[in-house]
Amino acid sequence: MFNCDNIRSQGERFQDFLVLRGIHRKGKSADPPILPDKHSDGNRRTSSGRSHSIVPTIVSNERDTVSFANDIVLEFDADDNDSDWDEEDEMLPIPRLRNDDNQDADVFYDERRESFSSNRRTDLTSTNSGANDTDRYFEYPKSNSYPTNSESAYTNWELRQRVSQDKRNLDSKFIDAFSKDYTTIENTDPSRILRKPLAEMYKDGLRLKHIGIRKLHALENIRRFKNNISTIINDSDGRDYLVLASNSELIIFDFDDVVALPNKKSVLRFDTRPPFTSTTDRLISTWPYFPHTVNFIRTFNNFCGRQVLGACIDDGSLMLWYTDTIIKYIKSMKIREKVGRQDDADSLYRDTNRFHGLRVNPDFKFKLEASVWGLDFLNYNDTFGNSHNLIVASDNSQSVTLFYYHQQDSRFYHVKSHQILHNIPEVSFVSHEVSNEGCHLVKVSCACISGELLIFQFEFRIKSGPLDQDEYEYFKKETIYYIDSTMEIHNRDPNLENSDEIKLKKFKRISFLLPRVLTRTVFGEDCWTTKPISSTYFNEVDSLAVAIGDPFLREEKIVKSIMNESAALDLDHLGFGANWQFFQSRVVSISSETTADLYKAGRITGIDDEYRRIHKGIQDLESENFLVVSTTKKLALFRADTLFCTCATKRVFDLAIPFNEEVKFSNRMSITCVIPKLSCIIAVSQLGLATIMRLCCSRGVYAMRQEHIFPNALGLALGYNGYRTISGLAVREKSILPRVTRYFVYLSYTDGIVVAYDLQLGANDELFVSSV
């Protein structure tokens, strides 16, 4: 953090940095507001209609702002903007953001509190620091004299090397970098789409080996358009189980230890839907005809010291089971002993009907205000050794709810954020901190399909004091935790006496402050997932070109440029400029046709937004944590403290996969999984392709490179019941030796097939060789 004595020198250094980048900072002119045409349909709306429509209107204005601010390198397709937006939203008579408005994305919600509902008192909120106003009256237009950064200079031959016919290997750190097999489609093997994986280009690439394909019984028509509905649970004996969700059921399979594939018959199958469907269930779901489908499942290994399985339901329910509870049912059924492994019709009939009508009551159940989609868990200890267990969930009320479970009280406490622009398909805990005064600060990242990436800050204190005995006994027996008190009153058990009196004297163990948006950025396409990862898990490489997978990069000139920027920003920290570098990760194009996406740059945020973040970041650089984010078409890497984008891709998958009218809406990267021990992320497009990106670091620059694309989506597109899509991704750790990290990867499809892979460090990796 800079002190007051260095404010002037800091400003001068930042100005020198901008000169090196070819950017000039200038004051904004106060342009008049841009109003819709007076003859448009939007002006015929009433004032009441306008007040209810301000949120989608701001969405439109925000996305327009990004495209104009980033007209240097970023262009958006009509498909990028039109697929999820109603044309009527853009005709509402709300003026667009003026130049004299604060266009800092971080304070967007703070300055529009009246437009976003919250049921908490506003005097309990903390405010953003004054640093957010640093560039309130300034903007960052580009200068035409210089490229803005390494990405825009990519097409400049000064920073790239030429490919000659005589010398194909431009960098000795790459292995046969220009082989045609890296871009040639494989037609005979259903497990891979390319003849040679990109990982073979690197000495330390990950090795992906196909295990096999298996069709699981009693899984024929899994619903599409869900989040990840596949995960792994474990028992106390070290056995693993594959959990899949189908409609409202959870189906569990054990594994064949010989081939590492799940067995065809399930060992447990139970329904999560309630005994009856209420009108409220239908109203708040996305599919009223059957509102109890599972949207997302997730496993966490340390909730109150035990492994827990969570399921997000379309009717607004959030259910949690300790896996011990499920394992007891598996052992009590004894499927393997009673039925055996034979595949005859009679055994299949007995296996399927054995679970008819089975219910496994959850250990915890919550009722939220809308369809639930996002879920994450957190456990940490404070300096006194006290354990804290938190849950965060997102629903289609366009808000985030944080739950705190107090073990001594056997009770949950919660706080809900204000509404944001659109639905939140995924939430993730980013960091936590406990101050000396006992104040807990928890940061949560949110992916929003309005094209937003946000970080909420939740702040709370824990009050000491005894509970009333009647109160303790009442809440201990509470079977459902309601977020909305109106829902709770409507569904209350009439047999419980004195419930109103007990509710009124409920002890407020947790004192929450109003959650606020700490940082926020806006993209040009829907944001689907956000996954945190610490910089300590990045794979250290000795070349920037290897880090981003680009053998054309002329590294010596880029390193010299970073050194100059570091000197301009902070003479005492030579590598400080490495924190503010953007690189485009090279991804393979396997399309048979040349499309406009091939020539579009990978930059995902605007130039103005980028330099606002740099300006604030040099004043307070907090941590080395990162967020790996997926949009509909792209992957990006962000610093978690400032949301500065350090690396992004072009469109990851451009293969023309066969589909019908319904399946085409699965063409989005809405499933991701980070494997820290392998320094990689697996990103899945539900239309049928997955990619493995290796997270790399070179001399303080953090980036990612593509190493694998799988399976053969062309060969697997047509399933048992028409076109199949990917419904889930499960990752199972099975390391041979303590220092040899090995994972099994399972892709599950909507017609019940599972494709399995073995993922581990390559034979040339030093860690692998030394361990063997």
361: pLDDT strictly greater than 90: yes
Q: Where does the pLDDT of residue 569 fall: very low under 50, low under 70, confident under 90, or very high at 90 and above?
A: low
Neighbouring CB atoms inside 10 A of 384's CB total 7
Give the rounded distance of the alpha carbon of 517 from its chain centre.
17
User: CA-to-CA distance for 656 and 97, rounded, in angstroms?
Assistant: 39
pTM for the complete prediction? 0.82
Torsion from C-alpha of 363, 366, 367, 372, nearest 10 degrees: -100
What does the longest C-alpha to C-alpha distance in the chain come to?
88
**The pLDDT of residue 44:** 34
**Element holding 134 (H helix, E strand):** none
pLDDT at position 304 over 60: yes
Domain-located, residue 391:
no
**Which position has the higher pLDDT, 97 or 265?**
265
Tokens of 405: 């479970």
For 453-469, give the DSSP string.
Answer: EEEEEEEEEE---PPPH
Q: Give Cα separations from 33 to 94, 268, 596 (angstroms).
A: 9, 61, 33
Query: For position 252, what pLDDT does the model report?
Result: 96
Distance CA 371, CA 294 (A): 10
Query: Can you tell me the distance from the alpha carbon of 97 to that of 104, in angstroms, rounded to the nearest whole number?
Result: 11
Can you tell me which residue has the tokens 């006994």?
A: 473
Residue 598, pLDDT score: 56
Question: 575 in a domain, yes or no?
Answer: yes
Q: Which residue do the tokens 């159940």 mark?
A: 365
DSSP 206-249: EEEEEEEEEEPTT-S---SS-S--EEEEE-TTS-EEEEEEETTE
Above pLDDT 90, what percent of the chain? 42
For 345, other C-beta atoms within 10 Å of its C-beta total 7
Q: How far apart are CA 361 and CA 372, in angstroms?
A: 19
Four-CA torsion 485, 487, 488, 490, nearest 10 degrees: 120
Integer Cα distance of 299 and 304 in angstroms: 13
Question: What confidence score (pLDDT) does residue 56 get?
Answer: 42
What are the tens digits of pLDDT across the range 600-631?
A: 666 777 777 776 777 676 666 666 799 999 99
Which residues does 455 contact at the CB level (< 8 Å), separation at least 6? Answer: 430, 443, 444, 445, 446, 517, 518, 519, 520, 640, 643
Which residues are 631's β-sheet partners? 527
Q: pLDDT higher for 72 or 197?
A: 197
Residue 38 corresponds to which tokens in the numbers above?
Answer: 């007076």
Tell whether the model's pLDDT for residue 166 goes beyond 60. Answer: no
Counting Cβ atoms within 10 Å, is residue 158 exposed (0-12), middle (13-18) or buried (19+)? exposed
> What's residue 189's pLDDT?
83
Domain containing 615 equals 172-215+523-726+741-769
Please report whether residue 535 resides in a domain: yes
For position 509, what pLDDT does the model report? 87
> 235-274 pLDDT, tens per residue?
998 899 999 999 999 999 999 999 999 999 999 999 999 9
Q: What is the pLDDT of residues 75-87, one digit of tens each?
A: 333 333 333 333 3
Residue 648 has pLDDT above 90, yes or no: yes
The chain-wide mean pLDDT, for the chain, equals 77
Q: Count of domains in the chain?
A: 1
**Cα 494 to Cα 278, 486, 497, 498, 504, distances in angstroms:** 17, 15, 8, 10, 17
* Apex 499 CA angle, 497 and 505, nearest 5: 135
Mean pLDDT of 176-188: 83
Q: Count the helices and strands in the chain (H runs, E runs).
A: 16, 37
Please say whether the beta carbons of 292 and 314 come within 8 A.
yes
The pLDDT, as a whole number, for residue 387 is: 95
The backbone torsions φ and ψ at residue 89, rounded to the nearest 5 degrees and listed phi first, read: -60, -35
Query: Dihedrals φ, ψ of 73, to 5°?
Result: -130, -15
CA distances from 57 to 50, 83, 118, 370 (A): 9, 16, 19, 22
Task: Return the number of other C-beta atoms located less than 10 Å from residue 140's C-beta.
Answer: 22
Look up tokens 């209609």; give the residue. 49
625-631 and 635-639 strand pairing: antiparallel
Long-range contacts, stretch 552-559, CB < 8 angstroms, 24+ apart:
552/160, 552/161, 552/163, 552/170, 553/159, 553/160, 553/161, 554/158, 554/159, 554/160, 554/161, 557/158, 557/159, 558/150, 558/159, 559/699
pLDDT of 597 reads 59
Query: What does the block give as tokens for 340?
Result: 């055996």
Asked if residue 566 lies in contact with residue 573, where contact means CB atoms within 8 angstroms, the answer is: yes
Mean pLDDT score, 576-596: 74
Cis amide bond preceding 711, omega within 30: yes
**Whether the predicted pLDDT of 320 surpasses 90:** yes
Q: CA-to-CA distance for 672 and 213, rounded, in angstroms?
A: 21
Q: Pairing relation of β-strands 399-406 and 411-416? A: antiparallel
Does 551 reside within a domain? yes
> What pLDDT does residue 662 have?
73
Neighbouring CB atoms inside 10 A of 381's CB total 10
At 115 the pLDDT is 62
Whole-number Å distance between alpha carbons of 15 and 17: 5
| pLDDT exceeds 60 at position 134 | yes
Residue 146 has pLDDT above 80, yes or no: no
Q: Which is more confidently placed, 113 or 480?
A: 480
> Residue 289: pLDDT band by 50, 70, 90 thresholds?
very high
Kindly give the pairing relationship between strand 516-522 and strand 452-462: antiparallel
pLDDT (tens digit, 9 = 90+) per residue, 732-758? Answer: 998 877 678 899 999 999 999 999 999
Write the CB contacts of 16 (distance below 8 Å, at least 6 apart in sequence).
568
49-58, 269-278, 294-303, 481-490: lowest mean pLDDT where? 49-58
Distance between CA atoms of 347 and 332, rounded to whole angstroms?
18
pLDDT of residue 533: 96
Q: Is 177 part of any domain? A: yes
Q: Which pLDDT band holds residue 704 (cuts at 50, 70, 90)?
A: very high
Amino acid 75: pLDDT: 34
pLDDT given at position 268 = 94
Instruction: Read off the pLDDT of residues 431-457 as tens digits, 9 standing for 90 and up.
Output: 999 998 899 999 999 999 989 999 999
Chain CA centroid to CA 289, Å: 29
- Establish if 304 belongs to a structural domain: no
Helices (H), 410-554: 469-476, 485-490, 499-504, 544-548
- Under a CB-based contact definition with an 8 Å cutoff, are residues 689 and 532 in contact? no
Cβ within 8 Å of residue 126, ≥6 positions away: 459, 513, 516
400 within a domain of the structure (yes/no): no
Residue with the two structure tokens 């971080």: 106
SS3 652: coil
User: How does pLDDT run across 665-694, given as a tens digit for each residue?
Assistant: 888 999 999 999 999 999 999 999 999 999
**550 in a structural domain:** yes
